[in-house]
């Protein structure tokens, strides 16, 4: 936030008037969000005929087996590939936020896994380092990431790729293979897997509760203002420019 962006200092009564006006806009946004959620649920389902093969701590599993007895599956494409020494910082930041949601999602008939192209032993080592409990599977020997646009090879092959080929994905360097983050959602109906939803880029913001909290602070996200942020938890030291 720059000096010119600094809000005026007012009385409590002034704040209350402004806050009530903002509340109306927040309520409208909530209604729009509810309507968008309905439209997501109404998207056509696309049958997934490829079984795929994932390496898990319980052995090789198909996509259908990742549902683990539930009817819905969320897959977070975590950027950790065969040539990646360690997990992506942004994906790590996001996973910190939703790692603790497993019990709640499972109780609502939803399974949630991370999927990456690195070997399983590499993923397990990073998972242990970060202290996560969320299931993490390796799609190393399958086309899963490519088929669901979480790998730039797909962009070259089809000319579309990440974020549905929109300009917001223009930063992706399709001249070199690289991992991409994404969220894919599936449903299992009568033993048939269907793809129902995918999102990329800022469509995944909702996964990270830290962004929502920062959006409610005076300085907001203020990206770039804090050097070396975000980091892996445990790498902040005393953490923050004014830690006390």
Q: Which segments in the chain show pLDDT lower than 50?
A: 3-4, 156, 159, 170-171, 174-176, 243-244
| Gap between the Cα atoms of 112 and 94, Å rounded | 14
Alpha helices in the chain, H assignment, sequence order: 12-41, 89-98, 102-106, 120-130, 144-147, 152-158, 209-214
CB-based contacts of 196-201 (< 8 A; 24+ apart in sequence): 196/40, 196/43, 196/45, 196/46, 197/40, 197/43, 198/148, 198/149, 200/149, 200/162, 200/163, 200/164, 200/169, 201/162, 201/163, 201/168, 201/169
Short-list 59, 162, 181, 184, CA closest to 113? 184
Extents of the domains making up the chain: 10-42, 46-206
How many of the other CB atoms lie within 10 Å of CB of 52?
21
Name the E strands within the chain.
46-47, 54-56, 59-61, 72-77, 110-116, 136-138, 182-189, 192-199
- CATH second-level architecture of 46-206? 3-Layer(aba) Sandwich (3.40)
Identify the pLDDT of residue 161.
60
Identify the pLDDT of residue 152.
60
């Amino acid at each position: 936030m720059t000096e010119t962006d600094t809000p005026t200092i007012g009385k409590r009564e002034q704040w209350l008037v402004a806050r009530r006006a903002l509340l109306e806009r927040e309520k409208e946004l909530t209604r729009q969000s509810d309507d968008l959620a309905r439209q997501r649920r109404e998207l056509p389902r696309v049958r997934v005929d490829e079984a795929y093969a994932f390496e898990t701590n319980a052995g090789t599993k198909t996509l259908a087996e990742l549902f683990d007895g539930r009817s819905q599956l969320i897959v977070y494409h975590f950027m950790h590939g065969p040539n990646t020494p360690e997990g992506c910082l942004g994906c790590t930041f996001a996973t910190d936020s939703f790692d603790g949601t497993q019990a709640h999602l499972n109780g609502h008939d939803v399974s949630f896994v991370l999927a990456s192209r690195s070997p399983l032993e590499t993923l397990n080592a990073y998972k242990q380092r970060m202290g996560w409990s969320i299931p993490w599977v390796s799609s190393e020997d399958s086309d899963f990431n490519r088929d669901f646009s979480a790998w730039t090879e797909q962009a070259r092959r089809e000319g579309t790729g990440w974020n549905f080929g929109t300009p917001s994905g223009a930063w992706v360097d399709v001249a070199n293979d690289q991992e991409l983050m994404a969220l894919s959602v599936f449903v299992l109906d009568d033993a048939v897997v269907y793809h129902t939803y995918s999102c990329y880029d800022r469509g995944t913001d909702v996964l990270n509760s830290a962004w929502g909290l920062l959006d409610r602070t005076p300085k907001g996200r203020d990206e770039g203002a804090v050097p070396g942020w975000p980091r892996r938890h445990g790498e902040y030291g005393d953490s923050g420019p004014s830690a006390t």
